[in-house]
Amino acid sequence: MKGSFFGVLCCVALLCGSNALAATLLVGSSRTYKTPRDAIGAMKAGDTMIIDNGTYKTTFGIGVNITNFTIKSASGNPYKCILDGQGGVGSGFPLTKGKGIIHTMAPGTIQGIGFINGGGGDRVSDGEAGLYAESFKALSQLNVVNCSFDNNENGIFVPGASGNGANVKISVTNSIFSRNKPNGVVSDGQGHNVYISGHTFVSNKNIWLPSKYGNNLKSRALTTTVQNDYNKHDQGRCLDIASGGKLTVTGGVYTSVGPTAVSNFICYACENTNSGIYTPTISGLTIVGSRANDCIWNNAAGITMNFASTTQRWASSGASFRIQGPGSVTGIVTAPPQGTTYVAIPAPVFPPYVNY
């Protein structure tokens, strides 16, 4: 009987594991920890950091052993709980490791946080970001939920899948990206709303507003999945799947603003094929043509991008799409047909806390 009882206790201990010891660290002006940077030194694997509303002009790193962490705002509102990188290195405020407002080397969850001014103050595109993820010990996932990224050099950055990004899978849900580009660098095309080069990137129900001189979503990941996003670009690209890889795009609205297009609407393998070449899966999109010469570019010879399962709408009689190969693009109407009913560019459905 004693042995059975002891065995039950052991099983309970094993099932509880480290979660039984997980701590909650409170951050705010009246809390034990005044800033997130103060709290991170006490954080262990499985711990939760809860941050009161406020603007925190601080950066911090999450070490490789602080796995399965949660960092979230108390309010859930990323426009009230803000981490401000103050422009990064070039403005005299170094980011963590020179890379991110939050630099993480471990998987976990970040929720309800706003990231602003993460780099770009030096007017050089050098990979600074609001959130930078790399060097995970094992293949594992970072979850970003209900966050906002505004006016960073890159909103999120993950380095190459053949290097420090090899074990990084990242999922972003219900988040908003806008104006992320190097401050003052107006035409180099290297500041993006996200720049992902890791193992896997999943985007679901996000709002992408123009990263005026970069791309909304630039991915070199081995696998990129985009679901039900709102994506409106200006002089960059809605989707820049620069190195090929496995691509699935389902649902959502894709459109553009500004003058005649100077870049590509959607491109696949437009720079190289380092992530492999596969036939993209594209379905359920609503594409709204609003200006002349928006380009859909498939640079993968022998591969077809088929848009037959998408819906096209037109916001202007002067709108058109240009198809570029050598890969094939099918199912796209390149100009408004006779008798077209023109529509306004649909607006994104913002969460209730956003005051635009």
The answer to whether 193 and 213 are in contact (CB under 8 A) is no
Instruction: Report the share of the chain in percent with pLDDT over 90.
Output: 71
Per-residue pLDDT tens digits for 327-342:
999 999 999 999 999 9
Exposure class string for 163-192: b at 16+ Cβ within 10 A, else e: ebbbbbbbbbbebbbbbbbbbebeeebbbb
CA distance 166 to 256: 33
User: Is pLDDT above 50 for 17?
Assistant: no
Per-residue pLDDT tens digits for 239-266:
999 999 999 999 999 998 877 656 678 9
CA distance 192 to 242: 13
- The first and second tokens of residue 74, run together, are 């108390």
Give residues with Cβ within 8 angstroms of 12, minimum separation 6. Answer: none
Per-residue pLDDT tens digits for 84-111:
998 876 677 889 888 999 999 999 999 9
Which of 97, 144, 100 is closest to 119 using CA atoms? 100
pLDDT mean over 179-189: 59
DSSP 8-class letter at 7: H
Give residues with Cβ within 8 angstroms of 212, minimum separation 6. Answer: 179, 181, 186, 234, 235, 236
Longest dimension (CA), the chain: 85
pLDDT mean over 153-177: 94
Distance of CA 254 to the CA centre of its chain: 16
